[in-house]
Amino acid sequence: MTILKRHLAALAFGAILAAAGQANAAEPVKLGLINPIKTLVGKQNLEGAQLAAEMINQDGGILGGRKIELVTYDTNFSPPEGVAALQRLLTQDRVKVVAGEISSSVALAAVPVIEGEDAIFMAAVPKHPDVTKSGYDKIFRMNTTTAQDAQSFDAFLLETVKPAKVAILAENSDFGQVTINQMKKLFGDKLVYSDTFGMQQNDFAAMSTNARSSGADTICIVGSNMEQYGNILRSLSDLGFNGNRCLMPGVLNSQGVQIAGAAAEKAFSADIYVPSIDNAFNKRFVAAFEKKFGRKPEKIEVLGFESIWIAAKAMDKAGTADDTTKIAKVIHEGKWETPRGEVTFDKNGQASSGELIRLVVKSGEIVVNR
């Protein structure tokens, strides 16, 4: 081979390598997303995640210009369906990071599947404490746990609300059972009635009647599905219950208030986010969300946003979309700017961002309860 031919061959080979590099750089990074997307709460979490991907892509993507692509499956609040969705994401779609979900029961079922595939799970909403206590260091939770909520909300119930008798109506899930047990410890014999409802249940007349008949002056509702707790509030109102209505921290949402209508008036709760938080990131997020979806975002949307935003930014900082050990290490060690403020993670992967904000429904709006 002549010198000229060798030179031309080297140039051709270099061009092939460059083209391959450009193709790899242009290949999107797939992130998995699971949610009960046929429900309002699942749709809200999905919208937050979609906006995170859109904003990252508008900012130029990650890892030298690669775009984020969401691969989404519906879990239908069902652990078997959630596990099946995860298996498709991890084995067929070949994703390395899965985000989202509302249900603690689905999240708990997801943990061994995630661990078996050496993947990362950015659990958005599930509140059961065991979600981040498996010992596997690649599980992260955006939301607070019931124990974190209790640190300030229990004191508010005991010292400000001061109920004489309490009833609790809770979804039949791990989140619901944990909350019932916590309320039993908090109120003792003042807890005069408790009952659970199924995740697909839509008739709450009997349990609402029993709760009202118990003599409770305060009825607390534990439900991640806003269609359900909105209808429970309506049932209580139809029965003439005029006592305190408490939504346990983390579940009060404007669409749930719309479903309840006037029955939601003066219902109170607490949460980690309100759209009026005054920081530059939140202002950008709220403006982008309102432009895209025509309404203000709330906590569920923020948690969906964060689960994708932090995962993508960690990939970029770690310099890899595939090495889950490096990505998880970056997440654990980082301080992440989000719409609610700075978020950090403890050794178990539990997020923290400050105190709960007390909320109350006034004139059909959720406002800060000062």
pLDDT of residue 312: 98
Alpha-carbon span 122 to 98, nearest angstrom: 6
Give the tens place of pLDDT for each residue, 152-198: 899 999 999 999 999 999 999 888 999 999 999 999 999 999 999 99
Give the tens place of pLDDT for each residue, 44-98: 999 999 999 999 999 999 999 999 999 999 999 999 999 999 999 999 999 999 9
Tell me the helices (H) and strands (E) count for the chain, helix number first: 12, 15
| Strand extents, DSSP E, the chain | 29-35, 68-74, 97-100, 120-123, 139-141, 166-171, 191-197, 218-222, 244-247, 268-271, 336-338, 341-345, 351-352, 357-362, 365-368
Give the tens place of pLDDT for each residue, 211-238: 999 999 999 999 988 999 999 999 999 9
pLDDT of residue 224: 85
Quick one: what percent of the chain has pLDDT higher than 90? 84
pLDDT of residue 20: 45
Task: Return mean pLDDT, the chain.
Answer: 92
pLDDT of residue 5: 54
pLDDT of residue 301: 96
Give the tens place of pLDDT for each residue, 128-140: 889 999 999 999 9
